[in-house]
Amino acid sequence: GNGGAAGGGNGGAAGGGTTAAGGGATSAAASPTSSSAAPTSTSNETIVDPNTPQGMIQMVTPAVTAGKALYKIGSKVTFSWKFTPTPSLAPKNLTMEAQANANKNWYPIANLSGDATNYVWDTSNQSPPLLNSDYTLWIYDERGRTPIPSPGRLTPYSGLVFSMYSPEPYTDYNGYQCATCSAGSSLPIIPITVTLGIAILTMIRFAFLLG
């Protein structure tokens, strides 16, 4: 009887102690899991060295060094560029816009993939219509025109100024007559000749009388 009680008691107590210890172990194991969840939100972000240079755009066509480019409104304008250096964090997309110096309005050109390096702009389909003005070309990534400078990111580009013009309509000058010139050209010549002749004869007569 005592042995059974002792066995039962000891066994039960031991078993209970083991269960409690197991529970304690389970609680201890759960604690690190909750603490390791904190950096999960940043695990997918790319860490860039603060000294990494920002990506830059350099225009190839038209070349900035060639002077201000002049384009006719309605024509197709080719822009091409390269990245120097290439941004470490590649842009998701690129936006091209032109700002008119005449009215400071923005004219959308294109939305491109982040690795695009050229675009042909059809100015005949532009809305709103283009003005006779100088324009500044802008190219920037998904962060907008004026993002906070960040290492490895693309710096917005606004280094190209070009001009757009609309030619005057053609005027056919075949058979053109000057309205202000026709009246003068139609004056009779004979009366003028007679008047000059009389004046000359009068001068000769006076000269003869005085002589």
* Residues contacting residue 164 through CB under 8 Å, at least 6 positions apart: 71, 72, 73, 123, 130, 131, 132, 133, 135
CB–CB of 77/109 below 8 Å?
no
Q: What is the pLDDT of residue 189?
A: 61
Q: Which of 101, 145, 96 is CA-nearest to residue 121?
A: 96
211/162 Cα distance (integer angstroms): 79
210/53 Cα distance (integer angstroms): 103
Q: What is the pLDDT of residue 177?
A: 66
Delineate the domains of the chain, giving CATH numbers in brackets: 57-165 (2.60.40.10)
In tens digits, what is the pLDDT along the chain, a chain of 211 residues? 444 444 444 444 444 444 444 444 444 444 444 333 333 334 455 777 888 899 999 999 999 888 999 999 999 999 999 999 999 899 999 999 999 999 999 999 999 999 999 999 999 989 899 999 999 999 999 999 999 988 999 999 999 999 999 987 766 667 666 666 655 555 556 666 777 778 888 777 777 777 6
Which alpha helices (DSSP H) does 135-189 contain, by range?
179-185
Amino acid identity at 15 = G
Residue carrying the six token digits 């997309």: 93
Sign, CA dihedral 164-169-173-177, equals negative
Please list the residues that pair with 69 across neighbouring strands: 162
Q: Which of 62, 59, 63, 56 is CA-nearest to residue 84?
A: 56
Q: Which of 59, 48, 79, 20 is CA-nearest to residue 152?
A: 48
- Model-level pTM greater than 0.85? no
157/56 Cα distance (integer angstroms): 8
CB–CB of 153/50 below 8 Å?
no
CB–CB of 110/77 below 8 Å?
no
Residue carrying the six token digits 């005085």: 210
Q: What is the pLDDT of residue 125?
A: 86
